[in-house]
A and B are shown apart, each in its own frame.
Chain A
Amino acid sequence: MKTLSRLSVLFLVVLFVAIGAGNALAAGPYPTKPITMIIHAGAGGGSDIFARTLSAAFDKEKLLPQPIIVENKPGGSGAIAFAYVAGKKKDPYYLLTAVTSFMTTPLMGITPVGLKDFTPIANFAFDEYMLMVNPKSKYKSVKEIVADAKANPKKITVGGTQLGSSDSVCAYLIEKAAGVQFNFIVFNGGGEVNAALLGGHIDIAVSNPGEALELFKAGKVKLLGVFSDKRLPGAPDVPTLKEQGVDVTYQQNRGLVAPADIPADAKKTLEEAFAKYMKTDTFKKYLADNMLSAAWMDGETFGKWLDKENARYAVIVKDMGLIKKK
């Protein structure tokens, strides 16, 4: 009995430390207690790496007097995390990771919350996207793919993650620009898409460098084109889609938002701290490791950018037939 109660106490202690319970209450200039950064996706993904790298750098460099604690709230293409943070109206102690799904999930009608429920704080970087094939593939360039797709509509299989995700938008943009149709195969995650490409089960995959860079370096996949404006420094030999006659560019942003109506001074403090973070070695290494492009935007600029992109996605998502019909 004694052993048991001791064990259960131990369990609970481990548990509470683990979930980071315990909020300090104190007065003074913001922040007076730890800030919680909600990650809209599971541990181990791109947003998780972004958030945890940032959190670790804030700890190390003391960019704010209080730490930023990360918490994963995955599910529903981000809908669960969005609703959770939106519900913290006026509370500047919550931050939320915002990427493409921050716009597409509300547009698809999965959640009633939207841009109006958040205060844009900062954007940090853009994820680049690339088109890749198995080295044994008959395609040597995007031009050949387009030509083949024109001759054989809906025959070329393109692997990606769920509809509405960045890679599905990339595939859609090519279809639209080149006037072709692919056979889009949905997988549960980037890793499964890569596995299917390596095994020769799909013809093409759209991926971001974070997930496919090592496979590319080892010659296990071949990059045929990048979705950026200019060639990427990490892969200077790979032409852009524009160079190959397909007028498409695409980037996914990596930003942070807070709940709506937070105090102006808190917003300013956060913006300044994040601007400092952009200059740290940790962030520069993060960019280089993941082949991202730095793209600083303060809250106001980021807000305008979100509005603009949201309008663009509204058209895309509708075109892809993803708007929920009531």
Chain B
Amino acid sequence: MYNIFDNMIMGFQVATSWENLLFCFIGVLIGTLIGVLPGIGPTTGIAILIPVTFGMSATTAIITMAGVYYGAMYGGSTTSILINLPGESASVVTMLDGYQMAKKGRPGPALGMAALSSFIAGTFSIIMLTLLAPPLAGYAVSFGPPEYFCLTFMGLTLVSALGGDNPLKAYISSVLGLLISCIGIDAISGVSRFTYDNMNLLDGVGFIGMAIGLFAVAEILENMEAPIKQVFSDAKLGFLSLFPNKQDWKDSFGAIWRGSFLGFFIGILPGSGATLCSFIAYAVEKKLSKHPEKFGTGVIEGVAAPEGANNAAAGGGMVPLLTLGIPSGGATAVMLGALMIHGLRPGPMLFTTNPEFVWGLIASMYIGNVLLVILNMPLIGIWVQLLKVPYKVLMPLILTIAATGIFATDNNIFDMWIMFFFGVVGYLMRKLGFPEAPMVLALVLGRMVEMSLRQSLTISHGSLSIFFTRPISGVIMTVALISLFSPLFPILWRKYKGRRSVA
């Protein structure tokens, strides 16, 4: 075994060179801004940075890029909470309660909790990375297609947790999302489905465009009905009101840890991504809560759990990248590509051949997380001033920035039309009382569920037993089925008791 203590000292020596410190700061700063900007997520942000990193050493380059990645997880929550506009996809679920908190005059505590939960979860995942990265490499590849299917299927059973008070409407909304997820080229057969010969639909409906449409654009449309008034007129913006109070901490404590744990361990799995982690953390929190009915009305756990999860996922995503050279998602794939341009090829031997690179990066992540909290806490005071802007000014600004961000992601104007289309859809859904969140989750999960189901059944030649005979998938599948049928248990229990008392 390697000596972690010595390695960390070496890592901090690398990370605290003035150059690496400076670029760590620049990285997290750009990351925060990219997170705040809607549409542009960490993947695009890092891709834009690639040419800039050419002049740097590989270590400085990865420190900068990683800073952008986890920095974006901090920044993403800002616009989600303040104006119902997701900064990046992993912050979509933060809107559900974060925006309600802002509307109720508590934008400060929501933003503060998002930043502090991010810090705690981020630090937790770096500690796990420091102590356990090489042993966890085996865990990262232990998930095959059947395990992914069970995991994503379990995610779908949590849909009801994302809806409002009408489970039926939540399920209808998620089925619509699943249908939308079928649009595009089918990777397995090469057939294009529901594209109507429109080339822009070949890759399916963009998740972030749809989310921005359903939430932000629909919100604006709804606010336009009445004579435009100040939505946040009663927001308390005094200095002390910006921080979470004692009760907030008490409510969020469990959520942060569960979010950190789920985010890290699901985030390690290649192909999962921070977005999925944030959804699952939120849904689990609601399922475990003593007052699930309050979720969606502005409870602070609903902010703490997903924000913790997406930061922990950013740390978890580093595990397969550093130990196997396998990216866990879009952002880490771009980082891997950038490192290859530098001539450095991450792989299983990275820890032994380039220790200063690995430990320098890990040490820089501790530093970056502290920098982010220092950077973000004062910024909250500035961000909340945004709410003083008259809504009639804010509204067109939101639309412009959202449209620009969406366009810049893939340089494709079609994505902007997707956003406006789903803005109208979202507006109609609101009028009819259908929740938007299940539709968005179904779009994220739909492709994964379909792909892994078909992969599994191809491997097993059509036999469903593959989901039950393998230990990990068997356990997850059982949990998923319990979660799906849990409403039936009390009924069965009553029957059983009735029978016993008779006997």
Contacts and interface: CB of A to CB of B under 8 A. Distances in A.
B132 interface: no
A79 B333 contact: no
A34 interface: no
A110 interface: yes
Interface in B137-181: 140-145
A271 B405 CA distance: 36
Contacts of B405: 15
A36 B213 CA distance: 31
A56 B145 contact: no
Contacts of A123: none
Give the interface centre of B44, B325, B340, B458 by most chain A CB atoms within 10 Å.
Answer: B340
Contacts of A171: none
A52 B51 contact: yes
A199 B142 contact: yes
Contact of B33 (A11, A161, A214, A290): A11
Contacts of A43: 43-44, 46-47, 50, 333-334, 337
Contacts of A279: none
A75 B202 contact: yes
A185 B451 CA distance: 10
B348 A220 contact: yes
A213 B345 contact: yes
Given A44-B333, A72-B410, A185 B458 contact: yes
B200 to A, nearest CB: 7
A53 B389 CA distance: 45
Nearest to A12: B404
A151 interface: no
Contact of B411 (A73, A111, A154, A157): A73
Nearest to B334: A44
Nearest to A187: B455
Contacts of B320: 195
Interface string A53-94: 101100000000000001111111101100100000000000
A contact residues, range:
35 or more
A78 B199 CA distance: 10
A49 interface: yes
Q: Interface residue tally of chain B, by bracket?
A: 35 or more
Interface string A113-146: 0000000000000000000000000000000000
A247 B204 CA distance: 39
Interface in B361-381: none
Contacts of A199: 141-144
Given A19-B408, A52-B341, A210-B340, A83 B51 contact: no
B349 A322 contact: no
B347 A195 contact: no
B140 A195 contact: yes
Interface in A6-62: 8, 11-12, 14-15, 18-19, 42-45, 48-49, 52-53, 55-56
Contacts of A72: 47, 410-411
Contact of B401 (A8, A42, A110, A154): A8
B333 A76 contact: no
A189 B232 CA distance: 45
Contacts of A192: 270-271, 326
Contacts of B346: 214
A264 interface: no
B234 interface: no
Interface string B178-218: 00000001011111100000011011000000000000000
A108 B202 CA distance: 13
A191 interface: yes
A308 interface: no
Contacts of B382: 3
B335 to A, nearest CB: 7
A77 B412 contact: no
B397 A80 contact: no
B190 A108 contact: yes
Given A44-B333, A214-B348, 6 more contacts: A18-B408, A76-B199, A157-B458, A163-B190, A195-B320, A289-B340
Interface of B: 33, 37, 40, 43-44, 46-48, 50-51, 54, 140-145, 185, 187-192, 199-200, 202-203, 270-271, 320, 324-327, 330, 333-338, 340-341, 343, 345-350, 382, 385-386, 388-389, 397, 401, 404-405, 408, 410-412, 451, 455, 458-459, 461
For the complex of A and B, the 10 pairs showing the least CB-CB separation, nearest first, are: A214-B347, A44-B337, A76-B202, A201-B144, A218-B348, A199-B141, A43-B47, A44-B334, A162-B187, A75-B203
8 contacts: A8-B397, A18-B48, A42-B330, A43-B333, A74-B410, A79-B202, A157-B458, A324-B192
